[in-house]
Amino acid sequence: GQDVADALGVRREPTARLRHIARLGWRTRDFAYAMNGLTPPGEPFRIELTPPDGKGLWTYGPEDAPQKVTGPALDFCLLVTRRAHRDDLAVRAEGPDAERWLDLAQAFAGPPGTPRDPRGEET
């Protein structure tokens, strides 16, 4: 659906339903490393996302995790579904492993596929 909206220049209104994708993105961290032939970090990450309504945070992982990812839930979901390039999103990482993960993240089965370039097109 996002690809069609992008092609038509239409903005979809994000809703709390994104929470399911956000959770899946967090849960598939180790899978993303494996799909790229890498060993996942041993320590968990903290994910803190601002939901579409701007009220509170959606959080995943331990509060005291040294590695953290933050940003709008919509941007995180676009990142983990590879519908946008991370340079076009307001998702930020704290820590080298979290930084690396943002380049690998995927919340879907199978190989990583072709990444998008920073303009939103497939490369």
What pLDDT tens digit does each residue of the chain (123 aa) get? 655 545 557 677 767 889 999 999 999 999 999 999 999 999 999 999 999 999 999 999 999 999 999 999 999 999 999 888 999 999 999 999 999 999 999 988 777 777 777 875 554
Cβ–Cβ under 8 Å, residues 69 and 101: yes
Three-class SS state of 59: strand
Count of structural domains within the chain? 1
- Cα 48 from Cα 20, distance rounded (Å): 14
Q: What is the pTM of this model?
A: 0.86
* pLDDT of amino acid 16: 85
Q: Which domain holds residue 72?
A: 15-104
* pLDDT of amino acid 90: 97
- Asked if residue 112 belongs to a domain, the reply is no
- Asked if residue 120 belongs to a domain, the reply is no
- Asked if residue 1 belongs to a domain, the reply is no
- Asked if residue 73 belongs to a domain, the reply is yes
- Cα 84 from Cα 79, distance rounded (Å): 6
Q: How far is CA 8 from CA 43, 97, 105, in A?
A: 41, 36, 26
